[in-house]
Amino acid sequence: MTQQKWTAADLPVMTGRTVVVTGASSGLGLITARQLASAGARVVLAVRDETRGRNAASTMPGTTDVRSLDLSSQASVRAFAAAWTGPLDILINNAGIMQVPRARTGDGFEVQIATNHLGPFTLTLLLMPHITDRVVTVSSEMHKRGHIDPEDLNGENRPYDAFQTYCDTKLANLLFTFELQRRLARAGSGVRSMAAHPGLSKTNLARHVTGLKGLGLKILASFAQDAEHGALPTLYAATAILPGGSYAGPDGRGERRGYPTIVQASEDARDEQLARRLWDTSASLTGTGTGQTLPSAT
Residue numbers annotated as active site: 166
CA atoms within 13 A on the CB side of 211: 6
Q: b/e per residue, 248-263, with b = 16+ CB within 10 A?
A: bbbbeeebbbbbbbeb
Q: Where are the alpha helices (DSSP H) in 187-271?
A: 211-221, 227-230, 232-239
How many angstroms separate the CA atoms of 158 and 61, rounded? 47
**What is the DSSP track for 56-73?**
HHTTS-S-EEEEE--TT-
**Strand order through the sheet with 88-93:** 64-68, 42-47, 18-22, 88-93, 131-138, 192-196, 247-250, 260-262
- Of the candidates 277, 256, 12, 298, the one whose C-alpha atom is nearest the C-alpha of residue 133 is 298
Extract the runs of DSSP E, i.e. beta strands, from the chain. Answer: 18-22, 42-47, 64-68, 88-93, 131-138, 192-196, 247-250, 260-262
Asked whether the beta carbons of 35 and 8 are under 8 A apart, the reply is yes
Helix or strand or coil: residue 249?
strand
Whole-angstrom distance, CA of residue 264 vs CA of residue 221:
23
Q: Is residue 33 a contact partner of residue 59, using CB atoms and an 8 Å limit?
A: no
> Please, which residues bridge with residue 110 across strands?
104
